[in-house]
Amino acid sequence: MGYTPMLQLRSSFWRVAHGREIELGPRGIIMAIINVTPDSFSDGGRYESVDAAVEHALQSVSEGAAIIDIGGESTRPGAAEVSPAEEQSRVLPVIEALRGRSDALISIDTYRAETARLAVGAGAHIINDVFGLQKEAEIARVSTDTGAGLCLMHTGREREKLPDVIADQYHFLVRSLEIAAEAGVMRERIVLDPGFGFAKDADENLELMARFTELQRFGLPLLAGTSRKRFVGTVTGRDAAERDVATAASSALLRLQGAAVFRVHNVAINRDALAVADAMLAARRDFEQREG
């Protein structure tokens, strides 16, 4: 009986700051969202205080998160921009308080080079840039100087997009990778994020999910961030706070298409969904080895 070979998930090590690394490939890695903001779209204001943010972060680690992503400015559509000083006053105390409290890696969600530099100095390992180095290219130099890992996200904001969703991914992310290379960033420090929800309508997001395997041509690990996004609500009819089940379904589907890291609000439900996907992938690998 014939069968279609499974997409092979490459195993690699993401090299990050402070001499750390994390293996990507054998199992889905969860990055927990910690919004230290008053206005994020689904949990704004819940974790504004340092104590609340740290407690939530440690709870997320206990539920299975390997990475904690700390952000001090909402990236929802229409959110008010905050000053660099305000952003830093929100995130730096949380990073400092978390440092050494767990084995989880700490990620700073920012597009500002100075915030990134201060955050890595405070203990962060990864810089998660939602503008893919194309807002402040100096972030690439921060990575080179500190050894920080980089998550480079695709966005359609503040520019004209190409009509084909995958062509636009390559158009944007190739430039991000050029900026990184020009600054001397090693590829082993880079993960790519196709930016679900960032200036993409529901149809574009669903097509991006359906064609996700085409992004494997980059030859780099991929992060999926569908958590509670508007297109998930469009499909399910659910409000933001009620989208965790559908998010977990999308995480499992994207895991089967090669995603390595999953940025989510609800760690526990996505951990379980990814455990099923990983078990299925392992069973398929065993079958293929038996079949030769």
Give the lowest-confidence range in 76-80, 247-251, 257-261: 76-80
pLDDT of 5 above 50: no
- The answer to whether 191 touches 25, Cβ cutoff 8 Å, is no
Interval 47-55 mean pLDDT:
85
CB 259 within 8 A of CB 277: no
- Looking only at Cα atoms, what is the longest distance across the chain? 63
First to last CA, the chain: 13
- Both tokens assigned to 226: 């569908």
For residue 222, the 8-state DSSP code is B
Beta-sheet strands, E only, within the chain: 12-15, 21-24, 29-35, 67-71, 105-109, 126-129, 149-153, 190-193, 223-224, 261-264
Active site residues per annotation: 229, 263
> Topology of 12-291 in CATH?
TIM Barrel (3.20.20)
Q: What is the pLDDT of residues 180-219, one digit of tens each?
A: 999 999 999 999 999 999 999 999 999 999 999 999 999 9
Q: CB neighbours (10 Å) of residue 167?
A: 12
Please write the tens of the pLDDT for every residue from 97-132.
Answer: 999 899 999 999 999 999 999 999 999 999 999 999
* Bridge partners of residue 105, in order along the sequence: 67
288 — pLDDT class (breaks 50, 70, 90) = confident
Give the pLDDT score at 47.
Answer: 63
pTM recorded for the entire structure: 0.93
> Positive or negative, the Cα torsion across 4, 270, 244, 167?
negative
